[in-house]
Amino acid sequence: MNVRDLYKRLLSYYGPQNWWPAETPFEVVVGAILTQNTAWRNVEKAIENLKREDILDPASILETPGDVLKELIRPAGFYNQKAERLKRVCQLIVECGGLEELFSRSLNELRSTLLSVNGIGPETADAIILYAANKPTFVVDRYTHRVFTRLGIWKGGYDYEGIKKLVETEISPDVSTYQEFHALLDEHAKRICRKTPLCESCPFKDVCPSVSF
Ligand code: SF4
């Protein structure tokens, strides 16, 4: 099983996932920060709070007092850190002249700009670039590592840049393919290749070297 075969089989088994669940690119940015270390259902509650208060835009978030912002995003957890990260990203967006201006930068320039923001790591930066800016960078996460390792596609520990490079070498850059592949890997890890895997129901049980039942 190679990376490309895995993508094709995941797509035919689960169908298109059509990520990211958001109405605007800025909502993707906010979701990418809020989803750090928490389940998506908690992020949804926090985003609903921001929408209800009508502050889901960079200028409004910057104007909102820190303690109010923290309370609104509390459902997403780690709300002190996340409020500060949101403010820092909003500051960057405003200083750049808006999200469109920021996203008009080349992929590499945009990535290094996002990574220079305290609290924005490669996974968050790549999620913003892929799903908000629609530029072809692959997003790696712990689910990617779990599935790749069990299927024998990746050997070794969690190496974000190494896994990203492997995917980008085997699948040439394409926004919708990378968007789908990341979403499909998460779906598979959540539904079947869980921490305790449900191998009997797995579409890869015929080829997986880690199959157990
Ligand atoms: S067979 Fe089991 S370990 Fe292998 S990919 Fe499927 S669920 Fe994961």
Q: For residue 199, report the distance from its CA to the centre of ligand 1, in Å.
A: 5
3-state secondary structure of 118: coil
How far, in Å, is the centroid of ligand 1 from the Cα of 77?
Answer: 30
- Taking the CA of residue 202 as reference, the ligand 1 atom at the shortest distance is 6
What pLDDT, on the 0 to 100 scale, is given for residue 21? Answer: 86
Residues 161 and 111 in one domain: no
Give the gyration radius of the chain's Cα atoms.
18
∠ CA 105-123-182, rounded to 5° = 100
208 belongs to a structural domain = no
pLDDT tens, residue by residue, 65-114: 999 999 999 999 999 999 999 999 999 999 999 999 999 999 999 999 99
Instruction: Please check whether residue 178 is in contact with residue 139, taking contact to mean a CB–CB distance below 8 angstroms.
Output: yes
Distance, CA of 200 to CA of 192 (rounded, Å): 9
Q: How far apart are CA 36 and CA 127, in angstroms?
A: 11
Answer yes or no: do 10 and 107 share one domain. no
Gap from CA of 204 to ligand 1 centroid (Å): 6
Prior bond to 20 cis, omega within 30? yes
Q: Which of 85, 108, 132 is the last residue of a domain?
A: 132
**Domain membership flag for residue 31:** yes
Residue 197 lies in a domain: yes
What is the 157 CA–ligand 1 centroid distance (Å)?
A: 18
Q: 167 and 107 in one domain? A: no
Which residue ranges have their beta carbon within 6 Å of ligand 1?
150-151, 192-193, 197-199, 202, 204-205, 208, 210-211
Q: How many Å apart are CA 130 and CA 94, to the nearest integer?
A: 20
- Please report the pLDDT score of residue 88 as a whole number: 98
Contacts of 116 (CB under 8 A, 6+ apart): none
Which of 109, 108, 107, 39 is closest to 75 using CA atoms? 39
How many alpha carbons fall within 13 Å on the CB side of residue 198? 9
Q: Given the CA of residue 211, which atom of ligand 1 is nearest to it?
A: 1
Structural domain contains residue 95: yes
CATH code (residue 108): 1.10.340.30
Q: What is the pLDDT of residue 213?
A: 83
Angle between helices 175-191 and 3-14 (to 10 degrees): 70
Answer yes or no: do 44 and 75 share one domain: yes
**Rounded mean pLDDT for each run of 10 residues along the chain, 213 residues in total:** 96 95 95 94 97 97 98 97 98 97 98 97 98 98 97 96 98 97 97 97 96 90
Return the biggest CA–CA distance within the chain. 56
**How far is 137 from 128, CA to CA, in rounded Å?**
10
Question: Which two structure tokens, joined as six digits, stand for 176?
Answer: 């919708």
The domain boundary residue, chosen from 89, 116, 132: 132
Indicate if 144 and 102 belong to the same structural domain: no
pLDDT reported for residue 45: 97
**Residue 154 three-state SS:** coil
- Separation between Cα atoms, residue 153 and residue 111, nearest integer Å: 26
How many domains does the chain divide into?
2
Domain span at residue 164? 3-18+139-201
